[in-house]
Structure 1
Amino acid sequence: MVHNCVFSFKLSSAREGIRSEKVRELIPDMLSSYTVNIAYHANNPDVGMALEKDAGRYKLFNSDVGLFITLAFKDKKYTENIIYNKLLSDKLDVNLGYVYENVVAQMLIAKGNNLFYYTMESKTSNHLYEIDFLTSVKDKICPLEVKSGNYRTHKSLDVFCNKFSNRICNKYVVHTKAYKWENGIYYIPVYMIPFL
């Protein structure tokens, strides 16, 4: 399975007859065009994630968040200003998780980070836990879970931190509210990403 623009899909269902190897060949060209940012799956979430990244599992993010938003909400030849006004005033009743992940990806890249994420299956159900981004600080890692809505529940972060507690420096929930520190987790507004 290949991840693209934060949405998961099988390439063959998105475009009949296309193979993941063909798309993988295009990735260097897409990256050198600076139109996308790529996050690879970290098979071993520890320092040196690039050594054990899975080149076949990745998420692509648009490197221009403004263009991404315009394309995401383009239902006709132009996007009405009311959409932008509601979006900017946090009154657009739509799941904006993919927008916030894209913003965080762009900020992490601008700060000089390579992008990595991690997924793991639940031991008790078919649920898949995902850490949106992993960064490293010295010899430890910092998991970041991005939330556009309810930031108080962060099961993926909790499960990840229980499993890899000896590897973790700081834990972050990136959200749209004010900064706070609670129960060992830094809850930071999106605009604080450059200061990590």
Structure 2
Amino acid sequence: MFDAIPAQLNKNASRYQVSSVLEGERADGILELIAELKDSKTVLVSYHSNDPNAGMSNNKDLARFKLFLCDTGLFTTLMFKDRDFTENIIYEKLLSDKVNANLGYLYENVVAQTLTANGNELFYHTFMNKTSRHNYEVDFLLARKNKICPLEVKSFGYKTHASLDAFTKKFSDRILRRYLIYTKDMKKDGDIICLPVYMTCFL
């Protein structure tokens, strides 16, 4: 399960698909294993909030979760684990933004690590538009005061934020502020605060 974390995030699925990693197992049957991974201090667990509101711990779904790593360097090594060791050229290309790969889930791990380091529990929310049958996902939810702050993480294509907009339309009375975490400079897009990834620590 540990080794499969980057691959599971890259699938862009709404949860960690346990049965594709451990044959015959279901998420609700390995809750003790998930707790052990979390206790190892190497894995971060983000739980689905079934009712995104203040007090999300009361309605988290223990069987719907995503896994991240506490250390993004280790996450990078797992991403490119094609050999016994990861060549330095991979890290050099990552730092110079020259890797021809979808790095969205790498940035999600950076945000997950930063939010956790600042004392936040990790939650996310998925929902479907019943009319269009389109699935939406808000990457992270923060509880602030008696409201929530949805976060969408983008590595590219930041000019559109459909999930954040759909979430706002559905839960407008619960939202304190909206954030887009991306790779550009700080700015505002209407009422959305767009923050570069390195400023996540200030949320």
Q: TM-score range by the shorter chain?
A: over 0.9
1:186 aligns with 2:196: no
TM-score (structure 2 length as normaliser): 0.90
User: What is the correspondence of 1:11-160 to structure 2 with a 5 Å cutoff?
Assistant: 11-160=18-167
SS at match of 2:193: strand
1:15 positional shift: 2.6
Q: For 1:159 and 1:129, how far apart are their aligned partners in 2?
A: 7
> Could you give the per-residue CA deviations for residues 39-86 of structure 1, whole angstroms, max 9, x where no partner exists?
111111110010111111111111111011011112122222221111
> Could you give the per-residue CA deviations for residues 111-167 of structure 1, whole angstroms, max 9, x where no partner exists?
000000000012233321000000011011100000011111110000001111111
SS at match of 1:148: coil
Point out 4+ residue stretches in structure 1 off by more than 6 angstroms. none
Q: How many residues align?
A: 194
TM-score (structure 1 length as normaliser): 0.93
Q: For 2:160 and 2:75, how far apart are their aligned partners in 1?
A: 27
Alpha-carbon RMSD: 1.6
Q: For 2:68 and 2:165, how far apart are their aligned partners in 1?
A: 25
In structure 2, the gaps of 5 or more residues are none
| Amino acid across the alignment from 2:129 | S
Q: For 2:168 and 2:177, how far apart are their aligned partners in 1?
A: 10
SS at match of 1:68: helix
SS at match of 2:159: coil
